[in-house]
Structure 1
C-alpha cells in the first residue's frame, strides 16, 4: 500500500502567515513613510508591477522562514509553549533585521534596498508586534480550540518496547497540545497486555498493525524502542511507512544525534520523523536546476584557484592533476568521480586496505567513523587542499553531469558498497551529494550506523530549508578549517 505524504497542517499555516507578516509589515512601512508619493503596487488591466525594494523583499522574506526553521519555530514542542516561542521569535527577528541592515550597508547603491531609516524602524516594530500577536496569542488560542474540538487530532499507534511504549503513552496523554490521540499499543518484546489501559493492545506483526490501522483510522505511528538494532529499526520504519503518512522514531539511544538535528521533542523524548517529505515531489526538479546553476557559478568564481592548484600539484609530484575514481551512486550505479590529486603513488594497495578496514568497521558499531588516509603519501599542497576542501572542487563537474547533487549522501567506493548490508544501501535511493547531513555532524563523532540512519533521515526529510542549512554549515566548517582531511 502506497501512502501519500502529507504536510503537518500547523506548519503550513505558520509558514504562509510568516511570509505574509514580513511582507505586509515592510509594505505598510513604505506606505506610511512615503504616502501619498508612492504606490506599493501598480495595477493595470494587463500587469501587476511592484516597486524594486518590495519585489526584492518578497524574496528576502523567505530568509526569515529559513531562520525560523533553524531556530525551531515550526516545531510543535516550541510553538505550544509561550516562553521558548517568544524567545525564539525575538532571536530570529534580530538575526533577520541585522542581515537586512548589513546587506543594505554593503550595497548602498542598489535599488533593491530602501535607504529610509524610518521605514526600517517601522518595519522592525510592526513585524515584531504582528509576530508576537499572531504567534504568541492568536495561534495558540486557535490551536488549543481545534485540539479540544477534535478537529486536528490524529489517531496514534505506538509500537515498540513495552516500557518505552508506556512512557511515551504517558507523555502523549499529558500533552494534548501535540494533537495525538492514542488508540493502540503494539509490543515487540511482550505478549502481556497492560491492565487499566483502555487501548487496543497486542504483539506486533505487520498484519495485526495493518488491521488495527484500517479499523481505527490511525494516521500516526510512533516507534519507541531501545532494544532493536538499527537494521531492524529501519525495517520497522519501512513497514510503518506503508501503513500511515506520519511515522516517527523515538529512542533514548539516539539522544546524542537528536541534539545535533533540528527535530521535534515530545517532552524529554527526541522524535525522528521518517515520513516521506511531501516537498520531494516538486523539490527534486528545483534541486536539479539549482545544482547546475550554483555549480557553474562556483566553478567560474573559483577558476583562478583551480589554476593555482594545477601549478602547485604539478610542482609537488609527477602525475595527473585530476584523478578519476569509481564511486557508487543512486541505486548502486557506478560513475567516474573527480578529485584533484593530493597524493603521490598508486592506490591499489590502499583500496585493498579499505576493503578490510571497512568490513571490520561495519562489524564493530562502537567505532567512530574516520577517513582512511595514508598521510605519508600526501603532498604538501595535498595537505592544504584537503584541509580546505579544495581537492573536492572538481566534484562540481559531477553535479553538472547529474551524477551527484550539492547535498546528499556521500558516494562510496565499490569496495565499501560490497560489504554493506541491504539496509545500508537504502542511503543510495537518491542522488549522492558533495556534502551531507553526517558530514556536518560527524565532527562531534558518529558511528557507521549513525551515518546511515542520518542519511535515511535526510532522504525522508529533504527540503529547501534542510539543504540550505547543510550548505551553510558545510561552508562554516571549511572556513573554520575543521574539514576531516
Structure 2
C-alpha cells in the first residue's frame, strides 16, 4: 500500500528533478555571460555540447535513485530530507566534474559552479514546495478512503498509524462487520456481504480484510466481486499466511499487511516506465505535429463532424477515462452500433468487423496504418495510458467479462501491446485477454521494447487492422 504511494510520488518528483537539472545546465550558459566575473567569453565559448545533457540526466538519475532524496521528502523530517537532497546534488556534481575533466575540459569552471548552484537552488525550492503542497492536499479532499472489513479494533489501530503518516493521505472511514464492536470509535457501515455495494457508495480506495483464517474463502469470493471496482485490496495475514506469502508484506506500526491486488510492477519498473512514457510521448507529439495538421484537414474535408473522437474506456484498476483518437467513422456511428455488433456461437459479443459500413474512406486508411491511434499520446502524457499495455476496454464489453478477465486492468492500458502485435483485430476480444495477462505476468522493460519494435513491423504491413 505505502510502497505504491511512495512510487507514485517519488517517481513524479524524480522526473521533474531531472528536468530542472537539465534546465539549470542550459541556463548556466546565459548566467555565465550575464555575470561579469572572470574572462570575457562569447556565446560560442559557453555553449553546452549536446552529449552532456543525456550524461547529466544519467548521472543525476542514477545517484538520485541510489540516495532516494525524493522518498526522504515524504518520510523524513525537513532537515534530513533537504540534507539528503544536498548530498545527492554534491555527489552528482562531483561525478559530473570528473566527466568534464576526462572529456569536455573547455567548459568554463565558473559556468560549472553556476550550474551547480542554480541546480541546488531550484531543487531545494521545488522540494520545499512539493512537501508543503502534498501535505496540504493529503489533509484535504484528496485523501484515500480506507475501509476495514472485519475487526474494528484493527481498524482503529490502522487509523492511528495513518494519522502519523499524513503524507500518505490515508484515512479509515469506517468498518464493515457482521458483529459490530460496541466500543469502536469508527462508524459501522454495514455487513461483510454488502461490501461491494458499500465500496461503491462510500467511494472507497483501499479495503483491508481483517477476517479470521477460517473465512479465507469468503475473502476470495469478495475479492473477485470487487474486481470490477477501482479499489485496492489488502489483508491482515495469519502466521501461516506470512510463512507462505508470495507478495511483499508491508509493516504499518507493527501491523503486517499483504496486498491482494497491487500492481505487478515494482516501484523501480513503474518509475522507469512512466519516465519513458513522458519523454517519448512528449517528443512524438512535437515531431508529429505537422502530420496531425494534415490528417485533421483530410478528415474534415471528407465528412462533416469533429476531427477527434472521444470515447469512455476502462483503465488501470477499473478507473474510467476518455480516450482520444482521430475520427475514422461517420458522426452517427455510435447510434448504428447494432449494424455490426453480433454474438458468436458461444453467445459472446463481437463488435468489430472488417467491412464496417460506418467507417469513412480516410478512416479505413487511418485504421490500416494505425494513424488514428496517434492522439492517444495525449492520454499517455496525462498518465491515463502507457505506450505499451493491454488495450483500454469499452465499458459495455467489460460488463460481460468473467471475473478472471478483470485482472487485465492491473496495469495502465497501452496504445500498443502483446495482443496488437500478435493478430490485432483478427483476434477476438475474448482471446486477447490471455495475451494481456501474459504481458502482465512477464513484464519487463525489454518486453516493452520488443513490443514497440514489433508494432512498427505490424503497422507497416497493415496486418490485422480494420
Q: What TM-score, normalized to structure 1?
A: 0.42
